[in-house]
Amino acid sequence: MTIMTTVQAINDALGVKMAEDKSVYLLGEDIGWMGGDFGVTRGLYDEFGGERVRDTPLSEAAIIGAAVGSAMVGMRPVAEIMFADFLTECYDQLVNNAAKMHYMFDGQFRAPIVVRAACGGGFGGGPHHSQQAEGWFMNVPGMVMVAPTNPYDTKGMLIASIEDDNPILFLEHKALYGKKMEVPEGKYTVPLRKAKVAREGKDVTIVTAMKNVYDALAAAEKAAAEDISVEVIDLRTIRPWDRETVLNSIRKTGRAIVVTESPKTGGLAADLSAVISEEAFGDLKAPVARVCGLDTPIPFSLPLEKVILPDENKVLAAIKAQMKG
């Protein structure tokens, strides 16, 4: 075991798979000698060379188009889209090619690609560098979205994603890049499509992912001081999300709060709240609550970002409101 940041855990996962499997290669803007905008691929160009760590033009459509084509002939590309906001530039390649490949060719071809993208706000990055993108892909059959919370899960889930035969959007919240914890050296995997109980409780369930897990845990700690027991579910995979773990928790507590950074309209929070209401209505003691980003573009202003985005105080207020229900 060694202490790693999330950035180091991603780098290590990529190195492990590239050393093990020559079909794995990386492509993206400035990922070569520069090591990527966030330093994630630093050192991999020197270790594996330019054939397997490929700098690309400034064209997200070209990056994902090349990834899909190479995957069809046996490669396992890991593409970096520098900011998740720019997934709009390759949306057609992801939605109409990668996600439909297995279905349209009856399994004769597939697109086992991993698309890494930095997401999330809180840094004054403004409207084009701060968004959460999961809502754009929630209703795309064939897509898998992975959203880890800590370095251990990030490394294990990235290795599992590279080995998976589906197209996977691997979301990395920028606020979590510097998180540190003990991570095993060498290869291990963390299963996809399986949520984790990050904190056990009996009064209310919070369902969330990525940075918001830490907001939920902080709010749960404050609630405990007021004798409110909060269970926190870390989804880890957000499409498809783990219904069994979520619904079992809500049937136990009888109260549900969904926390996501993306806007409330549509997307993950809407899907979670709808399914909870449909399948666990008889167990609920109060309506499902949602704590989400406001329906507005993300501003450059840090004070305005704090108004727009969820935080532990907003989650705590939702917990107290649920307990009155």
Just list the catalytic residues.
129
Task: List all residues 6 or more positions away from 302 whose beta carbon is below 8 Å from its beta carbon.
Answer: 124
Q: What is the DSSP letter of 18?
A: H
Tokens of 281: 């209505």
Task: List all residues 6 or more positions away from 46 whose beta carbon is below 8 Å from its beta carbon.
Answer: none
Please give the single-letter amino acid code of residue 316. L
Task: Write phi, then psi, for 90 (nearest 5 degrees).
Answer: -125, 25
Instruction: List 293's β-bridge partners, or say none.
Output: 263
Task: Write phi, then psi, for 139 (nearest 5 degrees).
Answer: -105, 35
CA distance 304 to 308: 6
Tokens of 303: 């004070």
Tokens of 165: 């035969």
Instruction: List 257's β-bridge partners, or say none.
Output: 206, 289
203 with 253: CB under 8 angstroms?
A: yes
CA distance 153 to 189: 8
